[in-house]
Amino acid sequence: MRPTVPRLVNILVPVKRSIDYAVKIRVASDGKGVDTNVKHSMNPFDEIAVEEAIRLREKKSVKVDSITAISIGPTKSIDTIRTALAMGADSGIHILTPENTIIEPISVASALKKIIEDKKIDLVIMGKQAIDDDSGSTGGILAGKLNWSQGSFVSKLELKENGEINITREIDGGLEKITSKLPVIVTTDLRLNEPRYASLPNIMKAKKKKIETIKPEDLGLDFTPRLETISVSEPAKRQGGGKVESVDELVSKMKEAGVI
Partner 1 sequence: MLVRAAIRSSRSSSLATAQRRLASSLVFLEHKNGKLNDSSLNAVTAAQTLGSDTAGIVVGSKSDVDSVLEEVKKIDGLTKIYTAASDDYAHTLAENVAPLLASVLPAKNISHLFAAHTAVGKNVFPRLAGILDSSMIADIVALESSGDVFTRPIYAGNAILKIKSSPKDAIKIVTVRTTAFDKAKTGGGNASVEEVEAKSGDSSTKYVSEELTISSRPDLSSASRVVSGGRALKSQENFNKILDPLADALGAAVGASRAAVDAGYADNSLQVGQTGKVVAPELYVAAGISGAIQHLAGMKESKLIVAINKDADAPIFQVADVGLVADLFEAVPELTKKIEGAKA
Query: Footprint of partner 1 on residues 155-174 (CB under 8 A)?
Result: 155, 166, 170-174
43 binds partner 1 (CB under 8 A): no
220 binds partner 1 (CB under 8 A): no
Query: To the nearest whole angstrom, how small is the minimum distance from the Cβ of residue 42 to partner 1?
Result: 16
* DSSP secondary structure, 11-78, as one string: EEEE--EEE-TTS---B-TTSSSB---S-EEE-HHHHHHHHHHHHHHHH-SSEEEEEEEEEEESTTHH
Query: Between 77-87 and 44-59, two packed helices, what is the crossing angle to 10 degrees?
Result: 30
Query: To the nearest whole angstrom, how small is the minimum distance from the Cβ of residue 105 to partner 1?
Result: 6
Query: To the nearest whole angstrom, how small is the minimum distance from the Cβ of residue 211 to partner 1?
Result: 27
Nearer to partner 1 among residue 92 and residue 151 (C-beta) = 151
Q: Residue 137: which of 115, 107, 157 has the closest Cα?
A: 107
230 binds partner 1 (CB under 8 A): yes
Cα 46 versus chain centre, distance: 4
243 binds partner 1 (CB under 8 A): yes
Query: To the nearest whole angstrom, how small is the minimum distance from the Cβ of residue 21 to partner 1?
Result: 7
H or E element at residue 108: helix 105-119
Q: Residue 109: which of 135, 142, 140 has the closest Cα?
A: 142
Task: Please list every residue from 8 through 27 that binds partner 1, using CB under 8 A.
Answer: 19, 21, 24-25, 27
H or E element at residue 123: strand 123-127
Task: Please list every residue from 62 through 101 that binds partner 1, using CB under 8 A.
Answer: none
227 binds partner 1 (CB under 8 A): yes
Task: Please list every residue from 111 through 150 that binds partner 1, using CB under 8 A.
Answer: 129, 131-150
Nearer to partner 1 among residue 92 and residue 105 (C-beta) = 105
Query: To the nearest whole angstrom, how small is the minimum distance from the Cβ of residue 9 to partner 1?
Result: 16
Query: To the nearest whole angstrom, how small is the minimum distance from the Cβ of residue 213 to partner 1?
Result: 26
CB atoms within 10 A of CB 73: 23
Task: Please list every residue from 173 through 212 that binds partner 1, using CB under 8 A.
Answer: 173-181, 189-191
Amino acid making up residue 41: S
260 binds partner 1 (CB under 8 A): yes
Determine whether 41 is exposed, middle or buried from the number of CB atoms within 10 Å of its CB (0-12, 13-18, 19+).
middle
Query: To the nearest whole angstrom, how small is the minimum distance from the Cβ of residue 8 to partner 1?
Result: 19
